[in-house]
Chain A
Amino acid sequence: MRGICKRFGEVRALDQVSFSIRAGQVSALLGENGAGKTTLMQVLAGVQPPDDGEVELDGKAVSLRGPQQAIALGVGMVHQHFQLVPTMTVAENVLLGCPRPRLWLGRRAAHEELTALAAQHSMSIDPAAPVWTLAVGQRQQVEILKVLHRGARVLVLDEPTAVLTPLEIEPFFDALRALVSAGAAVALITHKLREVLAVASTVTVLRRGRVVAADLPVDTVDEERLGALILGEGEVDGEAGRAWSGAPRSVTSSPAAAAQTPRLSLRRVEARGPRGELALRALDLEVGSGEVLGVAGVSGNGQRELAEVVVGLRAATSGAILVDGAEVSGWSVRRRLDHGIGYVPEDRQRSGVSAGLSVMHNLALRRYRRPPGRALCDWGALAAHAAAQVEAHDIRVASLQQPAGQLSGGNAQKLILAREIDAGPRLLVAAQPTRGLDLGAAAAVRARLAALAQGGCAVLLISEELDELLELAHRVAVLYRGHVAGTLQRDEATPERLGRLMLGQEASL
């Protein structure tokens, strides 16, 4: 790919970007969120037409007019979020959207074909198994098989390890190595340095739509150098830099009064998930004031339901939820929030900020009913307060009237935190608070969480970033199938132990 340019409105997403993927090796594409990695790969996959520049395949210039054509030319994309139909079998999923549609699926032939294809790439998978029965790592194999089956010679993997547990990552890398040794060309999009160093041959670094380092052989770089490249040399001090250089573990001091009555306690809480399945099972949990309790787990083991049950968005079918000793199970969300709960939802763009409303309106969401007992909003005071909040929390906005949907992920999250902190919470429920944020914004969010705990607030931090949990949490509880599989003190929580608990391989402590 040479000299690729792509603009979205005023934003230059890609500016003269060149990137090459060679057969027989893994080429990594590294950069912060918003650096242009995904856009570049979408150009390659035919999803986005480039404004300028050209794509060459095997030395010949090709014009990609759509995903179908990219597939026909042998470019296969494995998306970060799996595109599988859970109720269908592995074979059915692979045949779905097959470029050579057949009237009859030819089940037996398909199964044989797939087993052979899997074996060829040293994967083992049962073609007849329904996808919902598979573990996340296996689902990823199905995704890869899907593109291989369509004859892909160039594989693009978008943040493939984001959904894997620590223990699943190594086998996945083995599979990748097997793929390239069989002659495939693999592009690995990631923002995790360790993975680049572990599996890639060369690395290209993008920053703000430009290539800042092209095709560096990985044996010539280390984590520090790559970090500097991603962030830009000058910016490796300050907040982001600190987050980078090994992260001080003393962000949160030990809670002063762990022995006091807990702020939040869940006793044998059960709740159903969106499909009626039992998502939380006899769950016991306690968070003390000034304590950050981390909640780890493979995605989909009850994290979302846990947050929703505490806030009141989902009803607990049994058990007790106590906040400062008050049983809140029967309370509305409003009453619970008024009682001192703050909530940073997992799905920031859908549940956190109202995208079509202004920054000012979004900052008013927890404040518009002050003083109580009146029918009207005091927009003068709310606007003044919003201006102060934007200033105090360093939320970068064009104006208070800017629609919140235009804010970057980091600024949107700062807005949400500003709003929730301003409400003076005694308990903050933060779900995936740094997911998708760039390093600078993630560090800012973590600093605020740490400061809140320092001030005596109890923080329930649900995260899939182990590093984040190890940095912030005093204790880490691991959810496995809606149950707390174990709770580890910070100093005994190693990635290995957490990983085993996340997979249900270690008995409850």
Chain B
Amino acid sequence: MRLGLIPRHQPSPRRRAAVTALALVAGLALGALFLVAAGINPLAAYAAMARAAFFGGAYSLSDTAVKATPLILCGLGCALAFRMRLWNVGAEGQLLLGAWAATGVASAWLPADMPRLLMLTSMALAAMAAGALYAALAGWLKARAGVSEILTTLMLVYVATHWNNYWIFGPWSQGGFPLTPVFPASARLWRLSGLTLHAGFVLALLMAALVWWLLRRSRLGFEVEVIGDSPEVARSVGMPVARDVVLVLAASGALAGLAGMVEVSGVVFRLQERFSPGYGFTAIIVAWLARLHPGAVVVVALLLGGLLVGSREVQPAGIATMLQGLLLFCVVGSELFMRYRLVRRRHG
């Protein structure tokens, strides 16, 4: 007996959901093997993680939502670009630059006694503009000269890291320490009383709805779908592909930049080294696990946010990263079963 693969037609949405769920289970099962090898009882570990992330009352849910917020925003940015087959893998860099711009507005360029709404709006707009311009640079190079955006967006992450370090260690350093002064109250996002949950989470949900709606209804959204499915067709019917490349990368960068603002204004209250544990990179996984659907990005970001919170409960600390990797591996691998049917062959 041998196994063989037979191509199948368009999988139904139900089948897609079922296959994805199975893939997630398979990822956790594989993770369990590693945990056993490390001498940990996997069931107990998963239970502890689930408790810490989701079933530990308001505090644990609040922490999970806080971790999920930048993942949602960056994940939306990635999903939007990926839909057009633009591989923006530098959301981390756009997030860093967004955080930098928001910090500049909050602690250097605007007076501290500004009205809170005006201050926060200015910070958000500055952060989005910074992220957008940064990503648009890669988009412009791609549209004008065909430079691979995979390389440019990724390398710009390192540029952004060092750019931020210059400001943290230099002009904005607080007494020689590598961090900026704490933001004034007017530059901090509203929090739910007694909890870590901040208004950025609501903003992220609104953005998810906005991206979903624009993809479905707007003319630009239609162009994104067509270019993503078939750039040749898009060109043949006169769609402005080069313009859209710059525009969509800019939008993608704006979302990641907003994530940076939300993080400094809702969680850290200052700019410091390594304030992001790589949200912009994890967002790539989020976008793929969500199969580039904005609604699913929210769900996946909450799950991975929970994973980040829950992995605080287990040692060694690399477990969260390992599980992320395994889940991505299984979901991307499951794509095979969407497109092919596994059959047994009689003769060998």
Contact = CB atoms under 8 A, between A and B. Distances in A.
Contacts of B234: 354
Interface stretch (B91-99, B120-128, B225-233): B225-233
Contacts of B225: 357, 361
B237 interface: yes
Nearest to B217: A376
A351 interface: yes
Contact of B230 (A311, A337, A356): A356
Interface stretch (A29-37, A364-372, A476-484): A364-372
Nearest to A311: B236
B240 A350 contact: no
Contact of B238 (A332, A355, A364): A332
B220 interface: yes
Contacts of A352: 233, 236
Nearest to A374: B219
Nearest to A8: B7
A329 to B, nearest CB: 16
A154 B237 CA distance: 45
A113 interface: no
Contacts of B217: 376-377, 379
Given A313-B235, A377-B217, A354 B226 contact: yes
A79 interface: no
Contacts of B226: 354, 357, 361, 365
Contact of A377 (B7, B222, B232, B233): B222
Given A9-B7, A403-B10, A369 B230 contact: no
B233 A351 contact: yes
A338 interface: yes
Nearest to A343: B236
A115 to B, nearest CB: 43
A197 B82 CA distance: 54
Contacts of A406: 9-10
B321 interface: no
Nearest to B227: A354
A352 B222 CA distance: 16
Contacts of B10: 403, 406
Contact of B9 (A9, A313, A356, A375): A9
A350 B231 CA distance: 9
B218 A334 contact: no
Contacts of A338: 238
Contacts of A376: 217-219
Residue from B8, B232, B234, B237 having most chain A Cβ neighbours under 10 A? B237
Contacts of B221: 377
A333 interface: yes
A391 interface: no
A368 B238 contact: no
Interface in B189-236: 217-222, 225-226, 229-230, 232-236
B238 A375 contact: no
A19 to B, nearest CB: 23
B332 interface: no
B236 A334 contact: no
B239 interface: yes
Secondary structure at the B interface, as helix, strand, loop or mixed, is helix
A364 B217 CA distance: 13
A176 B233 CA distance: 40
Interface in B51-70: none
A302 interface: no
A336 B238 CA distance: 8
Contact of A332 (B9, B220, B237, B240): B240
A223 interface: no
A353 interface: yes
Contacts of A350: 230, 232-233
Nearest to A7: B6
A366 B235 CA distance: 12
Contacts of B240: 332, 334
Interface string A217-258: 000000000000000000000000000000000000000000
A354 B230 contact: yes
B218 A366 contact: no
B126 to A, nearest CB: 24
A309 to B, nearest CB: 14
Nearest to B347: A63
Contacts of A440: none
Interface string A108-141: 0000000000000000000000000000000000
A460 to B, nearest CB: 15
Nearest to B230: A354
Nearest to B226: A354
Contacts of A403: 10
B144 to A, nearest CB: 15
A365 B233 contact: yes
A350 B229 CA distance: 10
Interface in B1-19: 7-10
A368 B236 contact: no
A262 interface: no
Contacts of A334: 238-240
Nearest to B240: A334
A365 B219 contact: no
B236 A313 contact: yes
Interface of B: 7-10, 217-222, 225-226, 229-230, 232-240
Interface of A: 8-9, 311-313, 332-338, 343, 345, 347, 350-357, 361, 364-366, 368-369, 374-377, 379, 403, 406
19 contacts: A9-B7, A333-B235, A334-B238, A334-B240, A335-B238, A337-B237, A347-B232, A350-B232, A351-B232, A352-B233, A352-B236, A354-B230, A361-B222, A361-B225, A369-B219, A375-B220, A376-B218, A377-B219, A406-B10
State the 5 A-B residue pairs at the shortest beta-carbon distance, nearest first.
A334-B238, A351-B232, A356-B229, A333-B238, A354-B230
Given A336-B238, A338-B238, 6 more contacts: A333-B235, A354-B229, A357-B225, A357-B229, A357-B230, A375-B218
